[in-house]
Structure 1
Amino acid sequence: MSVFASPAAARRKASAALAAAAMLLAGACSSPSSPAAQGSNTASTSANAGTSASASPLPTPGPAASTLSDLPYAALDPAEQLDLYLPAAGAHPAPLLIWIHGGGWRTGDKSQITGFAGSAVKAPPPGPCRDIVEVQVPNLTELLAKGYAVAAMNYRLTQDPMAAAQDAKAAVRFLRANAQRFRLDPNRFAAWGDSAGGFSALILGVTADRRTVFDDPRLGNADVSAAVQAVVDDFGASELTDLPGLRPAAENPFPYIASAKPGSIPPFRIAHGDHDCVVPLQHSRDLLAALTRAGATATLTVLPGAGHEDPAFMRTQWQPTLAFLDRVFHM
């Protein structure tokens, strides 16, 4: 399809495609078991009904690499859980990557993070946009080996971008509140999201500690910072006016970018395909322009010929993304 030349043209030209495809965003590359979890210590917890997630008993990781499964980060909805993959204990607390899956705010699961295939991913045969269901996910094995911790989070799948972003902020607050227990460095948190998850990741980056509609005190740890120090946004939605239904202006990221204090927005790495027929490339172009005007450090990588959730992201974007994280966190 053609490249969108302006925000207005993008919205007019993409509205029909978005209305038809929003329910079909982001399927999953999945794997029956996590390479990071094999041979590791696994602990599970569950939230008790009517109690605060922060008050629930939490496991304490041992010195070896471990996976803490189904940790409740809030107690408003059973979906508010995350899996925390921890490296072996090192001399210093670990930087944390928080991964937020896509799925049109109606589907997807934290277990998708175990489906990294890298250069082995093959492109599907040509077909409708909705048939492209591969997703760019982090390489758990490599991240853990380098000393990163990784949190893969679920969130409320109610087709509500605001609820999803509220959950993302609650997850960040939970992890920072328990950073010492989990051996995490609270000053080195990164958010990585694709598609619908990209929206939540960019909201984390541009709202930081400001109180907005994306902050719900019912989710716990309201006095803890929800800021992140780096953002990776793969083909994320940023202009909610392009999506079906009427969304309040307060849910769009651009006013928060324009009003951000100098230096308050973390570095962004954005990637998007120029043949994306679900979330137009113009979303990322407009986001880059807004971040640049605000004085933030941001880059946009455009993948020629790539569609939405295209396997090309798995084949080409993992190493550049890892290099970006290493540079920001001095790894």
Structure 2
Amino acid sequence: MKYKIYILTFFITLISCSENSSATITEQNQEIPSVKKEETYDVIVTKDIVYAEGLSHTTINGTTTSTKQLKLDAYVPNNSDKNRPAIVLIHGGGFSSGSKEVGSMVYLANYFAARGWVAFSINYRLEADLGTVPDAWVPFAQNNLDPSLVDQFFALYPASRDAKAAIRWLYANASNYNINTDYITVGGGSAGAVTATMLGATNAEDYTEEISLEKDPTLATTNLDQPTKVHTVLDFWGSGITVEILDDLYNRQRFDTTDAPIIIMHGTEDLIVSFSDAEKLKNNYENSGVPFEFYPLEGKGHSVWNATVNGKRLEVLSFDFIVEQQKLKIE
């Protein structure tokens, strides 16, 4: 099975639309936000905001559970702007480690907030949390994965489910931060980029409705009446695996013309997430016709946050990409 080989390769190397929207269009959403080219604003940081809850099991889908609070940190520009874009940042760590306070996410959050975005860095359930997975995932894993990789594979679902919940929380709380929800970016590194790519390509019901409220009552905390639409994706050395899983498990082909534009940045010598994964993701975007930018980082490996392309750091490339795709005003 072709996909079986791909799954095994991914996890071996990784180990280190229709929207159901209840939101209304406001006068704010009819205005294009403006951002600053240079660092301009002081940043107000609020830590450990609970955006939802999720179950943690003692064994995969076991009956003994506890409830885990899912938290994010908010980075808000100290200005009086009533029409702000937003960015949600997702840490890496192979779905087994990492946190919202990892240096790369803190840096990016401050970088964008100082220029006018409201930035959020999120935590999500990791492999050791043993979050609930859909029933269909269990036999798929048993039939296609080495037993040593199963728990890491299962971690993909709750991580994706939690990231969807974070986006819905953003929509539900947008007015508290003066966010214009027509201008939402998601980004992350490695596992976080895998999840960000999923947010840009999947439908609102994906990674949410596969599990019922009866099986996972914490879904009721995730603002299910809100959209999950995002408008640009920053992919730092990730892949499209969580989008492709939906095709194999549910026959849902989600790479299509409704996807969010993406910027793909990936080291050509990456030994953790293969450069071929970036090329495959680029090909999916070429086939759908959705705008993308592709930056092979020649000779670079994994997690190369200080890399440059033609003298531009990756966060500058990302800034330019968001501004171009969202037609933001620059002051």
Q: TM-score, normalised by structure 1?
A: 0.68
Q: Which residue matches 1:146?
A: 115
Say which SS state the counterpart of residue 270 (structure 1) adopts: strand
In the aligned structure 2, how far is the partner of 1:221 from the partner of 1:22? 31
Is 2:324 the partner of 1:327? yes
The aligned residue for residue 168 of structure 1 is: 163
1:295 aligns to what? 289
Encode CA deviations 1:283-331: one digit per residue, 9 max, x unaligned.
1111111112112111210001111112444783121111112223314
Contact 1:17 1:277 in 2 (8 A): no
Q: Which amino acid in 1 is paired with 2:253?
A: P
User: Which whole-Å CA distance do the structure 1 matches of 2:242 and 2:170 have between them?
Assistant: 28
**Structure 2 Cα separation of the partners of residues 239 and 15 of structure 1:** 11
Q: Which residue of 2 aligns with 1:202?
A: 197
One-letter amino acid matched to 2:319: L
Counterpart CA distance in 1 for 2:181 and 2:52 is 19
Q: Which runs of 5+ in 1 are unaligned?
A: 1-7, 25-62, 117-135
Secondary structure of the residue aligned to 1:73 is: strand
Contact 1:162/1:214 (8 A) holds in 2? no
1:114-171 deviations in whole A, cap 9, x for unaligned?
Answer: x35xxxxxxxxxxxxxxxxxxx775344322221111000000023112111111100
AA partner of residue 256 (structure 1) = R
Amino acid of the structure 2 residue aligned with 1:155? Y
3-state SS of 2:112 partner:
helix
Question: Does structure 2 retain, via aligned residues, the 8 Å contact 1:163–1:214?
Answer: no
Which residue matches 1:22? 14
User: TM-score scaled by structure 2?
Assistant: 0.68
Pair 1:252–1:87, CA change in 2 (3 A): farther
Question: What residue in structure 1 maps to residue 53 of structure 2?
Answer: 75
After superposition, the Cα gap between the structure-2 partners of 1:169 and 1:253, relative to the gap in structure 1 and judged at 3 Å, is farther
1:256, distance to aligned residue in structure 2 (A): 0.8
Q: Secondary structure in 2 aligned to 1:289?
A: helix
Distance 1:253 1:141 in 2: 40
Q: Distance in 1 between matches of 2:228 and 2:266?
A: 26
- Partner-residue secondary structure (3-state), 1:110: coil
| C-alpha separation in 1, matches of 2:223 and 2:10 | 39
The 2-side partners of 1:266 and 1:240 are apart by 15
Q: Which has the higher strand share?
A: 2
Q: Distance in 1 between matches of 2:186 and 2:70?
A: 17
Conserved in 2, the CA contact under 8 Å of 1:71 and 1:82? yes
1:87 corresponds to: 77
- What is the CA–CA distance in structure 1 between the aligned matches of 2:242 and 2:259, rounded to whole Å? 20
Hey, what's the Cα distance between the residues in 2 that align with 1:139 and 1:81? 18
Contact in 2 for aligned 1:203/1:253 (Cα 8 Å): no
Question: Does the alignment pair 1:221 with 2:211?
Answer: no
1:110 Cα deviation from its structure 2 partner:
0.4
Q: Which runs of 4+ in 1 moved over 6 A?
A: 251-254
Equivalent residue runs for 1:1-331 within 5 Å: 15=8, 18-19=11-12, 21-24=13-16, 65-76=43-54, 77-78=67-68, 80-112=70-102, 115-116=103-104, 138-158=107-127, 159=152, 160-209=155-204, 211-215=205-209, 218=219, 219-239=221-241, 249-250=247-248, 255-257=253-255, 260=256, 262=257, 264-313=258-307, 316-329=313-326, 330-331=328-329
